[in-house]
Structure 1
């Protein structure tokens, strides 16, 4: 069995969320990232991202309740779920875990919300959800 259903570019993830009514976006970053960096704005699709930390801030401990929290959202096991983090690493791990838990269409969003670091090690300039011009909001 594959680790998860596959990787999607941010724009392909948006298209999936737009075209499939049951599709959900799960943002696995930390509360600090959601607050200070922003979140995907799915209001044009009449949806909201599901925010579940993969790791806690500031300690970085793994959220042992991640799968239980996602399962509590009552997402059908055959619904597409796209996982988003800063750059695509935590979201790939989350997609793998939830595939192991029986979810059939878990996708990792390549590039993440902020994308790869540039030559000066700053994110949000080369690629990622924000750079690709997809809707987002900052609290």
Structure 2
């Protein structure tokens, strides 16, 4: 699986408009924290159960992608969920999977705040919210 910084992911997505950009966060994160424009929302797990259903996730990504050969770029809050999700896609036969390091909100700083060290929003990349 490839790893992109947020800026590298943005550049890759601009150069590869055929790539499927997937946000794997929960719906509440996607809606209220914000998300990149044009990203497809397919949660890795969802509240309140917080249980991963790999088969469901892979099926939904395949439905959106149309083919396991289509490039897929994964985004989550901090770059952790995307590793598990990407491994599940690769195990299911996806051949071009990448994930965004530091995710949408970035790593936690010394005050337990996100968005101050790195991440999609920190890097000034396009995003929107409800």
TM-score where L is the length of structure 1: 0.87
> Which is helix-richer, 1 or 2?
2
- Confirm whether residue 70 of structure 1 aligns to residue 61 of structure 2: yes
Alpha-carbon distance change, 37 to 117 in structure 1, aligned in 2, over 3 angstroms: same
CA distance in 2, matches of 1:76, 1:18: 20
TM-score where L is the length of structure 2: 0.93
Per the alignment, residue 89 of structure 2 pairs with 98
- Confirm whether residue 61 of structure 1 aligns to residue 51 of structure 2: yes
- Confirm whether residue 20 of structure 1 aligns to residue 13 of structure 2: no
Per the alignment, residue 45 of structure 1 pairs with none
What per-residue deviation string (whole Å, max 9, x for no partner) do you get for residues 27-62 of structure 1? Answer: 000001011100112xxxxxx211001011133111
- Note the residue ranges of structure 1 that are not aligned, 5 or more in a row: 42-47
> Root-mean-square deviation (CA), in Å?
1.2
Aligned length: 129
CA distance in 2, matches of 1:67, 1:8: 21
CA distance in 2, matches of 1:63, 1:123: 27
Q: Which runs of 4+ in 1 moved over 4 A?
A: none
Q: 1:53·1:63 contact (CA, 8 Å) conserved in 2?
A: no
